[in-house]
Structure 1
């Protein structure tokens, strides 16, 4: 059986998920991708590109794609692919994605997702009977799936349970891989860096390269200043303004802390980053994307607290990875976070976030002695791998 994997935006969590599936699945896989650049253009035109470049094969049984692809267009352009069992993975909801400027929303992207996700009433009724989904208003929610939350990461499939997985970033076209099943990885995967757009790449290496071991080696563990990590994309939907304003307020009060800003950058970087870099000064341990997976996890393992200020989040792999590495999470009491993290790790306002960090700066031993009260094992490949294999191994049904 052959699984066709299609990813128009091969970077970030999109790349991580596709690479994991290609590496771990027992079935033969064909992976077709486009580089993680110009997201809006990929959402509008990638179906036409893949119509021309996806190899034809009588061995395809399942098509697995992210919702950046307009699946309805591809199915119309390639009837041979339209006949396959299809699994569509939604990394985000384009109808609710935060707009960066005060302007009318371009509904084309949400419309594409609706077309790709839409199913006739008789198929929805069949789903309700076969896999145990229930109607919730105009949406459907699956039941009985351990570790899954509806708003976290939505998969829609014709005749199998939707699953959610741990996934968060180069360019490629079509590759074919035939592998057996290796052992599950010991730690979640951190993707390789795309073409660098870090404007601080050539500056003072003392703060801008990964040198945490040397910086921290002379300090007693319990006496070191609090180390805060922010491992998110440098984009507006992650709300870096709120994060940095809280840190600059800590700086104004002469509270001791270090910060590592580890996220990936793209072509447009919010102005707050350059402002914060100057204000935070010597408090910065690292500034910029770490292409090495080992360096990335080493940075997280040396951090005490990991912060999210996101305005839009379906799952938040970076936060789960950081908690897996021992960080104390602080997340908004909104979006997907209450479904994943216990209440003590949630805050409602920037003021609450500031007060929590203020206390931690004064008493970093509080978080260093803390044992996380939630659970991350359910998000690992060891827990979810068999469900993904089952999802992508089922034969297509004639009535679907």
Structure 2
């Protein structure tokens, strides 16, 4: 099958996904177009313009299937390049703008949400990485359409619900490693982007709570950093003192995987995670997840791994960590959940089936 893949805002998780597709479904003939993950507002509205006039020769080739991320301005791109309108198209949602936390700088901009909606409607089939992602997208569409002052279309969300499905981003086989537990202090890793939406303030409160509880722990704080780093990270490092492990981005993949193998707990304090690849990689390496009882996590992990959300969230997080630490001190085996079903070896056939169904369906049939 000749497949054109379009990743319009090729952030790390998007690249992780499409590289996995090309590597694990290599019998297909892939053409991949990506755009850098910067200038968000311009990129999401301008990607159709960039591709239509910079890569027209590539877009006008013959393909059996188009796969586009939800950041792609698909309705406009099909207008600019009419040839694309005749090719079955699958849109994959890594996240949706309806459930993305606002930083306070958006000023109520509805454009990213409208683009998500238009792109979904322009597709023949829509796939989400979790049920949480799908459900919040459909609920967001319904709320948005209620705000239209007149000429409101009916049945839009219902139509999208009928032609959508859920299929997670798989993990590569190399992510599944033998756990290498350490003696002494319990090892915790927080491995996320250093931005507001990953919950640095909750992490700060949690570190304070763990210190107050007298827990013997060591915390690795790793992940991608940017020019503006939330002030919470400076406070966290100061508070940790000698408890601080690795601090900052890990250039070496081998070193990063070693940190995951040595961790007892992989922690999320996120305001949003639509699947949580960073946490899943920690679990694949043998760490126990401690994650919020909201977002996508309850559909991925047992309830015992999820701390309460809302009021008392910090206390619940600290208690969950301390419970695992106490179990380890008492010599109880602490096993990470089995997520082998999310490996590429387990999921390749499901992706293959999805691609075949979309490529073979009567065009515009959903």
TM-score bin (small chain): 0.7 to 0.9
Change (3 A) 1:163 1:188: farther
- For the Cα contact (< 8 Å) 2:188–2:263, is it kept in 1? yes
The question of 1:329 aligning with 2:310 is answered no
Aligned to 1:82: 85
Q: Out of 313, 317, 333, which is 1:353 matched to?
A: 317
CA deviation after TM superposition for structure 1 residue 359, in Å: 4.2
Aligned to 2:346: 383
Residue aligned with 2:295, SS: coil
Return the TM-score normalized by structure 1. 0.74
Residue aligned with 2:8, SS: strand
Residue aligned with 1:312, SS: coil
Residue aligned with 1:31, SS: strand
Unaligned runs of 5+ in 2: 138-158
- Higher RCO (CA < 8 A, seq sep 6+): 1
Change (3 A) 1:14 1:46: same
How many residues are paired up?
A: 331
Residue aligned with 1:9, SS: coil
Change (3 A) 1:141 1:23: closer
Aligned to 1:314: 274
Change (3 A) 1:162 1:188: farther
Distance 1:141 1:22 in 2: 18
Change (3 A) 1:315 1:353: same
Unaligned runs of 5+ in 1: 128-139, 143-147, 169-184, 190-215
- For the Cα contact (< 8 Å) 1:86–1:158, is it kept in 2? no
Report Cα offsets for 1:267-324 as digits up to 9, x if no partner: 3321111221222122111111223322221111101111111122221111111111
Counterparts of residues 30-45 of structure 1 (less than 5 Å): 30-45=31-46
- The structure carrying a bigger helix percent of its residues is 2
Aligned to 1:265: 225
Counterparts of residues 135-284 of structure 1 (less than 5 Å): 149-152=130-133, 162-166=165-169, 185-188=172-175, 221-222=182-183, 224-284=184-244
CA deviation after TM superposition for structure 1 residue 341, in Å: 0.8
Aligned to 2:153: none
Residue aligned with 2:109, SS: coil
